[in-house]
Structure 1
Amino acid sequence: MTWSVSSCFITLVVLFLWRVEDIAEACRCAPVHLQQAFCSADVVVSSLWSFCSFGGSKTLQKLADAPLCIFNRLFAVQTSLNHVSLLVIRAKVVGVTVGSNTKYDIQQIKMFKGPDRVIHAIFTSSSSASCGVTLETNKEYLITGQLNTAGRMHIITCNFIQYWEDLSGTQKKSLTRRYQSGCDCTIIRCSSLPCPVSTPDECLWTDWLLEDGQSGPQAKNFACLKRSDGSSSCGVTLETNKEYLITGQLNTAGRMHIITCNFIQYWEDLSGTQKKSLTRRYQSGCDCTIIRCSSLPCPVSTPDECLWTDWLLEDGQSGPQAKNFACLKRSDGSCTWYRGMAQSN
């Protein structure tokens, strides 16, 4: 083999490997908050999948093979061949046919955002390399997807697709009542500190400082909404007939206002020590400073600081220091953790 042939062979191998890597990277999607998916979608429906079929459509094949463009809020198929609108539905899957593309026949339960029509089928690529989606029959989903000019709904991996039963009550309710009112706000995913906020219409999505942001409290229970001054704030949805511990702000009009950053928790989820400390211990430690430690080393700069190391684990709010300790003053003026004991029943 001559040098020129060897070089050509090496080049072809490199190009092949690059293409494989490119395909593998194509389906990497940054996660989105359900509100982002809703606001970016022109159609939102819920459905139960009953039939899944793979049907060949030249237009759909071109859409499936088109390169993916990653946006802050949503991911769409880039194509100059078709204008693509986006939608949101709740539906159930009922059957399957296999081909170059997969067609899921669905029973649409509710259209949350989109045209005044019923979606009967959803299409996706049969190849995972082209971001094809696999749905289970007889399962109910919340689905966001694309509606092309032919009137067909197409879905890819980067769409927000989740089992309906896995959504919280707040998320389900917000699809019809809250997310729409916050579509002028921008949700910024925060996965490592510091997280800058550049404009007042932004809300920091800090669930991603923990392991799984999609299961975090902001994802499950909050919406980013406009304040009266035009800035954004993560509004709070509370359940009726539920007992809470709530911290908030009292404005000059005498109204209590709460946002995502307030401490809001079901009363039943508090430990006995936490409940007792609200009246007996926390007040005496207000001159101390609690420093959240999420990665080592964690410096202590002054003697009146206590390191909150629960965050070295998965969920700091459920850790032993959060549930059972208070940061209190010693007689020498320094602060340290003291374990509080709940009263016996």
Structure 2
Amino acid sequence: MPELTERQRTILQLLIRDYIETAQPVGSKRLVERFHLDLSPATVRNEMSALTEMGYLRQPHTSAGRVPSEDGYRAFVGEMIHKAELPASVQNTISHQFFQARSDVDQWMTLAASVLANQSQGVSVVTAPHAEMSRFKHIELISTQGRQVLMVMVMDGGEVSQQVLTLAEIVTQDRLSQVATHLNTILAGLSMAGIAAVSSRTDALEQDIITLLLQDMKRTSESASGEIYTDGLTNVLDEPEFAESDEARWALRLFEERSTLQGLLARASSNSSVGGLQVLIGGSGGWDELRQCSMVVARYGVPGLVTGTLGVLGPMRMSYARTIPTVRYVAGLLSDLVNDTISGE
């Protein structure tokens, strides 16, 4: 995107602030009067025209007012993402609420969803903490029909998955039981990387089973985001973006389709570390589910051990200055609580 002058940057920031509050196209005269700019409406209008040509603003109809484009929002968020802070009084209130629910994970999740929804006035989503690195515990192989075998796999966190495998040739139940016993001995407690490392030291049948086992572990790990807690759906139902657009309302149906929502959260947080935060605006080019929305997502937990994801979904016109620091602060609180639980404090 073209580089902005300091004046253009200021006008863009103020215009977006006004639009977030009113949901109405913003004109140059309103900006000058509301923010007491030491500029004439004509000068501001010229700068708004330039910002429109550069792709930061758009003119929805034939009115003189402008609204932010996706790139405009991204520039706005880029300016304030590391500056926005939650007032100390709000931090103290939230911290006290979590202290009261300190010993109960379910209460933490419910409270986190409630706090995020109330502070952001968006729809919140929080996943319960789960093991970040799956480790193998036990496998059973059961002959069913012909070359088909039922594989039941148990992870050390208690997750159980099962699927029907089709082997290259028919194998007796005795042989399958021998393979399961051997794999249970040599793979116990190993991660996917550890299992892959010992695979070469097994026979052909065991290697085939291990390949399928690793595929299942990867699939289970990617989808295992724990129980999902949501709140605040009514916050956005009356927003004009959701009241007038079927496409925007479709994003809210994600919260009814838990498997789809789990996949979205897994993708959204896959490139961020614990404590990291991402802002997805208008789908950010690859998220069709969010084309009319924005989502602020963060990971919490203990790196390499136990993690979860939390976030807020709302219109692109969401209050980023309030939502971003709230998501960041709640993620930090949950990380501390999870760490204390693991360390026994």
TM-score by structure 1 length? Answer: 0.21
- Which structure exhibits the higher relative contact order, with contacts defined as CA atoms closer than 8 Å and separated by 6 or more residues? 2
Structure number with higher strand proportion: 1
Structure number with higher helix proportion: 2
TM-score by structure 2 length? Answer: 0.21
